Structure 1
Amino acid sequence: MKILMYSSHEFDRPIIENAIHGKLEFVYTEQPLNQDTVEMAEGFEAISLFTPDNASAAILEKLYFYGVRYITLRSVAYDYIDLKRARALGIKVANVPAYSPYSVAEHAVSLLMALNRKIVLGQNLMNVGDYRLDHLIGFDLHGKKIGIIGTGKIGAAFAKIMHGFGCSILAHDPVENEELKQLIDIDYTTLEDVCINSDAISVHCPLNKETKYMFHKSIFSLMKKEVIFINTARGKIVNTEDLIDALQHGNISAAGLDSYENDKKIFFRNLIDKNVGDEIYAILRSLPNVLITGHQGFLTNEALQGIATTTIANLNAWAYNGICENELN
């Protein structure tokens, strides 16, 4: 089977190469899949995609015309592919249903700690020789209430870490994690109640019709002024303009973001000395109480190895059996 791997980079290509076995032939491109690059897939039976890619209905139709019959996603998320259209075309799609949940959970903790203890500001002051502590006051996490939106594998890992800090856990999820409830004290409640009572809020839910722009002006208005808001999930869960408004007017204290609603045009690229051309992002990035990382949350050796292993397994399952247990459609 010949596979074109879109959105490949130096950080994941060697790990994929080491994981390859069976009759698989990979070709790599750093280009994301879109209308301008879809023709690169001509002659390939399968392609591999990542979150910067765009597998819309129109692009899937072109992929089918070019001979693509299998698509393996190197992610848990699949909101960037039109599964309904793929199903109609007979293109099989599989994802990586799970990889190290600790990678993203621990990154969320890192963002929370860095913002709370003013690590970036403290380093900047050190670099210019200002050793005063006047602007570096944080708060003990011990005894605080931590709100968690989404308690799947990543949210559960984050909850257990925060429980270890001595925090009380409030959670919102349509499906309560019964296993997690056996391990730690966790109170499931409404989104509004989580926002009203939490000292920090971390988002770990998927992006879908119900969660798109879940966090908007009226929801931010419910939060404590001291709250630290963390999003290591999908960017479009948050209305960025409303988040900026809440930050600028002191309705919330700070935000740590590993995603941004229009990040497909920005993240995973070298844009040094280039105009990003996104005014909203420019404002967001300029705020002193915002810490942004570019989809760095998953980036650990363990997570990359898990993604590579499952990606290769998905392709070999199709190549040898025609059936893959991780198929989405």
Structure 2
Amino acid sequence: MEIAVFSSKKYDTKYLRPAIEAKGHQPHFLQSRLDDETLQLAEGYAAICIFVNDSLTARGIESLSKKGLKYVLLRSAGYNNVDLDAADKFGVKVARVPAYSPYSVAEFAVGLILMLNRNLHKAYNRVRAGNFSLEGLTGFDMRNRRIGIIGTGKIGLLTGKICRGFDSDVVCYDPYPNVDGAKEYGMRYVSLDELLETSDIISLHCPLLPSTHHMINSETLGRMKDGVMLINTSRGGLIDTVALIKALKNGKVGQVGMDVYEHEGNMYFEDSSDSILLDDVFSRLLTFHNVCITGHQAFLTREALENIAQETANNLDDFIKGVEPKGIIKK
């Protein structure tokens, strides 16, 4: 079977090609993002492979299903960019990679915490400019600091586990708690109110759903401790960015680490260094010295890319064989 791979980069080709070809299928790598304007690129393919900023709407699924589309393979854990109601209606099967490497994202989240706390991003730039002053670089011991984990899937639990290694007090919240997992890692569940009101650092590890969209907003930000550090390595839409900027300006939020942004679709994964940045909200975020933004790279380790490639190939092969893939998404 031939499969169209959208939003592909060199690292996708390196890892996906051998994994898919080993199953006897032929991948075609396309740099274009998939959306309603580029649907023609997917016409005639029974299977397509998409990434986090591709968009497969109801219109797209209906159109492509009439042109032979049967399988959609997400090389990510999240699936908010696919209209599952339409997929179910038109008989298109969808699978994802739910646990490619939770370690990669968890380790990156903790890396952001350490960078912001000890001002490593500032120190790096200062030394390169010949400035060896330590003024403004004071951090705090992680020991005994309360770290709140919102969302306790594998990534959230592992983030908490790593933070426990600093002898931090880790509390967590999830509407579907994993009590045994949290207990094993020395964490405990509290109410969302308590987590917001008492945590020195809050790290988000939630899927983007209608119920979690802008869960960090003016109201929830107002309940946090003054000077709180906020980390997001999940999905940009969890945070109301305009409300976050206001909280940064009035000092409610002390530091922010973001690997994702709610309007990242037209910017991330591309080199736009020769272009003018048109997103005024994002531009304002970049002016804060206490904000560290990265370009959705938390997943980017060799181990994660190998696992994504293998699980994607397995999902496709299982679909073709009539076997239910481990990563299938059911409505």
TM-score normalized by structure 1?
Answer: 0.97
Superposition deviation, residue 215 in structure 1: 0.3
**Partner SS state of residue 272, structure 1:** coil
Q: Does 1:93 align with 2:112?
A: no
Aligned counterpart, 2:315: 314
C-alpha distance in structure 1 between counterparts of 2:224 and 2:182, whole Å: 25
1:60 alignment partner, SS class = helix
Alpha-carbon distance in structure 1 between the residues aligned to 2:228 and 2:36? 41
Report the Cα offset of residue 324 of structure 1: 2.8
In structure 2, distance between residues paired with 1:190 and 1:215: 15
C-alpha contact (below 8 Å) 2:5/2:48 kept by paired residues: yes
SS of the aligned residue for 2:306 comes to helix
Q: Structure 2 regions of 5+ residues with no counterpart?
A: none
1:112-150 deviation per Cα after TM superposition (whole angstroms, max 9, x unaligned): 100000011111211222211111000000111000000
Deviation at 1:22, TM superposition (A): 2.4
Q: Distance in 2 between matches of 1:27 and 1:285?
A: 36
| Alignment pair present for 1:294 and 2:295 | yes
Give the aligned partner of residue 3 of structure 1. Answer: 3
| Residues 166-208 of structure 1: CA deviation (Å, up to 9, x unaligned) | 0011111012112323313322122221111011110001111
Residue 193 of structure 2 is matched in structure 1 by: 192
The offset of 1:89, in angstroms, is 0.3
SS at match of 1:12: helix
CA distance in 1: counterparts of 2:289 and 2:121, whole angstroms? 10
By how many angstroms is 1:310 displaced?
A: 0.5
Q: Take 2:113 and 2:52, find their aligned partners in 1: how far apart are those partners?
A: 24
Distance 1:286 1:182 in 2: 40
1:30 equivalent in structure 2: 31
What CA deviation, in whole Å up to 9, does each residue of 1:217-257 have, x standing for no partner? 12111222222110001100000000111111111101000
Q: Is the 8 Å Cα contact of residues 64 and 91 (structure 1) preserved in structure 2?
A: yes
Deviation of the 1:326 alpha carbon: 2.4
Shift of 1:98: 1.2
What are the residue-to-residue correspondences of 1:197-208 with 2, within 5 Å?
A: 197-208=198-209
Identical amino acids, percent of aligned pairs? 38
Matched, 1:210 2:211: yes
Matched letter for residue 234 of structure 1: R
Is the 2:76–2:98 Cα contact (8 Å) retained in structure 1?
yes
Distance in 2 between residues matched to 1:196 and 1:320, nearest whole Å: 51
Q: 1:222 to 1:182 in 2, by over 3 A?
A: closer
Structure 2 counterpart SS, 1:277 = coil
User: Could you give the per-residue CA deviations for residues 27-67 of structure 1, whole angstroms, max 9, x where no partner exists?
Assistant: 01011101221101122110001101000101111211222
Q: Which amino acid aligns with 1:313?
A: N
> After alignment, is 86-95 or 126-135 more displaced?
126-135
- Structure 1 range deviating more: 143-152 or 36-45: 36-45
Structure 2 residue 258 is the aligned partner of structure 1 residue 257: yes
Q: Which residue matches 1:103?
A: 104
Contact 1:39 1:66 in 2 (8 A): no
**Equivalence for 1:56:** 57
Q: How many residue pairs are counted as aligned between the two chains?
A: 329
Instruction: Please give the alpha-carbon distance, in whole angstroms, between the structure 1 residues aligned to 2:255 and 2:272.
Output: 26
**Is contact 2:157–2:185 with CA below 8 Å preserved after alignment?**
no
Q: CA deviation at 1:85?
A: 0.5
Structure 2 CA distance for aligned equivalents of residues 67 and 59 of structure 1: 12
Residues 252-285 of structure 1 show CA distances to partners (whole Å, capped at 9, x for unaligned) of 1010001000001110111111123211111112
1:158-237 matches, cutoff 5 A: 158-237=159-238
Query: How far 1:322 moved relative to its partner?
Result: 5.6
CA distance in 2, matches of 1:73, 1:184: 30
Separation of aligned partners in 2, 1:325 and 1:111: 31
Is 1:19 aligned to 2:19, yes or no? yes
**RMSD across aligned positions (CA):** 1.2
Gaps of at least 5 residues in structure 1 are none
Match in the other structure for 1:122: 123
